[in-house]
Amino acid sequence: MSGISKTFPGVRALSDVSLTIYPGEIHALMGENGAGKSTLMKILSGAYHADSGGEIRIDGKPVIINSPLAALHHGISTIYQELSLAPNLSVAENMLLGREHRSGPMIDRGSMENACRTVLAKLGVTFGPSTKVSELSMAERQLVEIARALIANARILIMDEPTTSLSSRETEALFALVRQLRADGMAIIYISHRMAEVYELADRVSVLRDGTYVGTLERDEISAERLVRMMVGRDLSSFYKKDHDAKGSRGPVIFSVRNVGDGQRVHECSLDLHLGETLGIAGLVGAGRTELARLIYGADRRISGEISLQGKPLAIRRPEDAIEAGIVYLTEDRKHLGLFLDMTVRENVNLNVLGRDSRVGKVLNLKTARARAAAAIKALGIRVAGDIVPVGSLSGGNQQKVLLSRLLETKPRVLILDEPTRGVDIGAKSEIYRLIDKLVRRGVGVIVISSELPEIVGICDRVLVMREGRIAGEVGGAGHPPITQENIVAIATGVKEAAA
């Protein structure tokens, strides 16, 4: 692809972008949300038409890709982040959708299933061509998407955030398959925000920023520092910059949890949160971090323990009690447990405070709701055309900002953030980190739960480490080991005590 540009009404999404892909390589495409990655791939896959002047060549020959069918004809297949399968159809019907085998006027399902068996066998799947897609797991549906590309004889496979809904074991299996496709000579364009995946898979990485091509790194040139600088135009060191000084300004305990447990997954956990500090909770998956947060918030029933805010005991039996007391919780699953994806940005931002400014207790004050949404969009830098856009149409980073803005409208005194940057690009991560720092400086108590150790080390002033449902140790506090990834892992695994 060379000289590719794309203009939407009032917006220039791509400007003179070039991209070169070779057979038998995994080529990562990176950039912030809004950098132009999806637009460029939609042009390659025929969903969008580029502005005049650019050119796409395959095997050195100019081609015109003016529809998804034209892209398939040229051997280009796309696996989108939101899978495009029809769950009510069989695996074979999905693999050959639009290219069904026919015997006269009738669809020949037997012939279709026979054609699909060879491809499915190559992938080593445990399901058959007649299996309904609705019966498959997310990882198995991902394999059906890949099978659909293989049966179409794809030579170029575009994968957009393919591991978002996969477990670590499923991700490893997908990586093995991707490497096999590379060995078979397929060219794979891999879009991901996850640095670890890029390090593990990519032969080369190309970066877009603000709709322009920044550059390409060979495998031995790839590093977090270089990628961040290319993506956002600043060094990695500025990412975790904290303006608050927890050691110098940390105040009294404002929030206290004592011996909280549910008798099953969480056992007698205690913590203190000080004014002016960011407190982290780390641990391996299954250690009980989210479960502890849900007990504190009243989302799950606790059988023991006490919770107090600024020395006053709280009776929290349900989330409404926590919100009324000034304690809010950002769920790790924003799409299913946090946001209402079919509702607008304005509706989501105002959801928790509808009763605050309603007229006569019933009629909504739309003027106030519009003003509140506009202020939130400006304050959090939410990239959206307007506040009546459905939240489900936004990028992951902008969805997270909408959810954060809704929580902040309740004027919380304690904010519990569970995986606050999951599925969020690097630029949005930096903005969320700065927001956390600003809230701490304003006197809001912030607790951060995260599986990303660099994040925990970078933004937290103290870290409690959980293991098997208990708080097993602390790093960063007075008299405790410093906050390092090694010390956190040492406590989380129980292999050895963290070294001072």
Same domain for 175 and 266? no
CA diameter of the chain:
81
Residue 76: strand pairing partners: 156
Give the CATH number of the domain where residue 290 resides: 3.40.50.300
Domain stops at, among 235, 263, 294:
235
Whether the CB-CB separation of 427 and 460 falls below 8 Å is answered with: no
Report in angstroms the alpha-carbon separations of 147 from 109, 110, 201, 207, 371.
17, 18, 20, 28, 49
Q: Give residue 52's pLDDT.
A: 92
Q: Give residue 361's pLDDT.
A: 55
Q: Give residue 82's pLDDT.
A: 64
Instruction: Look up residue 398 and give its two tokens.
Output: 């902008």
For residue 499, tell me if it sits in a domain: no
For residue 500, tell me if it sits in a domain: no
Query: Which residue segment(s) compose the domain that 474 sits in?
Result: 246-493
Same domain for 221 and 257? no
For the chain, what is the domain count? 2
Question: Per-residue pLDDT tens for 377-394?
Answer: 888 888 887 888 888 888
- Rounded to 10°, the helix 396-408/366-380 angle is 120
Residues of the chain with pLDDT under 50: 497-500
pTM check: above 0.75: no
Q: Cα(466)–Cα(261) distance, rounded to whole angstroms?
A: 13
Domain stops at, among 235, 270, 300:
235
